[in-house]
Amino acid sequence: MRVNVVTLFPDFFRGPLGLSIPARAAAAGLVTYNLVQLRDFTHDRHQTVDDLPYGGGAGMVMKPEPFWEAVQSLAPEGEELPSGPIVLMSARGRRFTHADAVRFSLQPQITFLCGHYKDVDHRVAEGLATEELSLGDFIVSGGEIPALAAIDATVRLLPGAISDHESASTDSHYDGLLSAPSYTRPAVYRGREVPGILLSGDHARIAAWRREQAERLTRERRPDLWEAPEHS
């Protein structure tokens, strides 16, 4: 897989992508990261990437031209745009989910567009991006944090990125549920005991307990997930 990231802050990604699973996946040849500096696609001496919004109002809006030219630079010769999803991380986008991470992990290439300032010119969302995604109902300083989260969620699903697939298959959201609680040594800590069933050695009962706990937590904390068709 090739992951392209168009951003004003390439250095934001170098540290996290050089650690843990994203780094191991790259070292194993499962993924390459291509960080694209948006300012390299400006044409004035100030490398201007934003301007005042038409119609007035507070804040600055990122210009469409640098995004368009940056993405076009990633296309193979004779093609207008690179293959694969082109994703604008945006607070007005649909919420990113585990299903999106699975879908992205099957692509040979994906391109993330990171906005900043007040907004990105809507022609980028409408004409360049193939989809617009958000992490949730809150605002962060730019698209870098959401893009990094989406990259990590995607890369860890690549075959071989995690040595123990069973570990991933018991994560929250893998099967539409939150995961059951986890415990490790010591068996008693500050008066709090590990549930006895986990010490029983009875794997069938442990599996049933974990399923019961996963369902309980999902019902209590994420009724929206529990009410999804696969659980009704």
Element (H, E) at 178: none
Taking residues 144-168, report their average pLDDT. Answer: 89
pLDDT tens for 79-126 read 999 999 999 999 999 999 999 999 999 999 999 999 999 999 999 999
Does 2-155 match 175-231 in CATH topology?
no
Is it the case that residue 229 has pLDDT exceeding 90? no
pLDDT tens for 37-62 read 999 999 999 999 999 999 999 999 99
Amino acid 13: pLDDT: 98
CA dihedral for 17, 21, 24, 29, sign (positive or negative): negative
Is 115 labelled as part of a ligand binding site?
A: yes
N- to C-terminal Cα separation, the chain: 36
Tokens of 114: 């990171």
Is 139 labelled as part of a ligand binding site?
A: yes
Element (H, E) at 110: strand 109-114
| Nearest in space to 67 (alpha carbons), one of 163, 175, 143 | 143
> According to the 3-state scheme, what is the secondary structure of the chain?
CEEEEEECCCHHHHHHHCCHHHHHHHHCCCCEEEEEEHHHHCCCCCCCCEECCCCCCCCCEECHHHHHHHHHCCCCCCCCCCCCCEEEEEEEEEECCHHHHHHHHCCCEEEEEECCCCEECHHHHHHHCCEEEECCCCCCCCCHHHHHHHHHHHHCCCCCCCCCHHHHHCCCCCCCCCCCCCCCCCCEECCEECCHHHHCCCHHHHHHHHHHHHHHHHHHHCHHHHCCHHHC
Where do runs of H (alpha helix) occur along 125-202?
Answer: 144-155, 165-169
Element (H, E) at 103: helix 98-105
Class of domain 2-155 (CATH, top level): alpha beta
The model's pTM? 0.91
Is 113 labelled as part of a ligand binding site?
A: no
For the chain, give the percent of residues with pLDDT over 70. 95
Quote the distance between the C-alpha of residue 98 and its chain's center: 9
pLDDT tens for 181-194 read 999 999 999 999 99
Tokens of 115: 């906005």
Residue spans of the domains in the chain: they are 2-155, 175-231
Q: Which CATH superfamily is domain 175-231 in?
A: tRNA(m1g37)methyltransferase, domain 2 (1.10.1270.20)
